[in-house]
Amino acid sequence: MPSFFFCFSNEYDEVSTTVFPFTAEFLAFYRQYRKDTNSLPQEFSAMLPQLLNAIIAKMQYDETANWGDEDELTDEAEFLDVRKRLKVLQDTVGAIDMQLLVETLHTIVNKALEKLARGSGAIGWRELDLAMYELHVFGDLAFQNGNLFTKADNGVAPNGDAAARLVDMIVKLMNSGILNHQPFRPRVNAD
């Protein structure tokens, strides 16, 4: 596993993508194992958060990417293809342990929204892009139970934990100040 994580977490996508097929098969095996036994081996459960964090870290633009640089269009297209493949792996982690995925995404998005609320200089565009991407993914998770809200005795209530967390994050986003018609200015220096 240390060799696998070394390759998967490599800064170069060309290296990381070589282990994507293994990662997909590895996760598919444990997804089926969980489905068949309703449990997971201790070693795998301990390693799964590390794998999820590595997947999410690879989804963030690296420091060499420039916002809106037309010379980088091919690189961006390749990165978006890698991100799409990583999302499939992230979804598989969610199929194995949905609570882990919900907790991890909630933490990542909340940290970014807290930085955003402190001012646009507190967060770089790469971190904000990843947080907004994961917020979108989180929205898909929240709607897996059907509707975002259900009828309750005193009105409406969020339909589950993911829906309640999504509502909380949307309120934080709205209160962050980014929607106050003030332009977002990413930090000039590297993240």
pLDDT per position as a tens digit, 47-87: 999 999 999 999 998 887 665 666 666 778 888 999 999 99
Domain shared by 18 and 42, yes or no:
yes
**Phi first, then psi: what are they for 150, rounded to 5°?**
-125, 160
pLDDT attached to residue 18: 94
Cα–Cα distances in angstroms (integers) from residue 152 to residues 24, 73, 146, in the given order: 40, 49, 16
**pLDDT over 70 for what percent of the chain?**
81
pLDDT attached to residue 179: 59
Domain that holds residue 40: 1-96
| 191 has pLDDT over 70 | no
| 146 has pLDDT over 70 | no
pLDDT attached to residue 162: 77
Average pLDDT on 11-15 reads: 89
Domain shared by 122 and 111, yes or no:
yes
Domain shared by 90 and 103, yes or no:
no
Domain shared by 102 and 183, yes or no:
yes
Instruction: Give the closest residue to 76 by CA, choosing from 66, 85, 86.
Output: 66
Domain shared by 12 and 85, yes or no:
yes
* pLDDT, tens only, 122-140: 788 889 899 999 998 988 8
The CB-side HSE value for 116 (13 A sphere, CA atoms) comes to 29
pLDDT bucket at 29, cuts 50 / 70 / 90: very high
Domain shared by 62 and 72, yes or no:
yes
Residue that is last in its domain, among 44, 65, 96:
96
Domain shared by 132 and 173, yes or no:
yes
pTM for the model: 0.81
Domain shared by 123 and 44, yes or no:
no
Q: Structurally, how many domains does the chain consist of?
A: 2
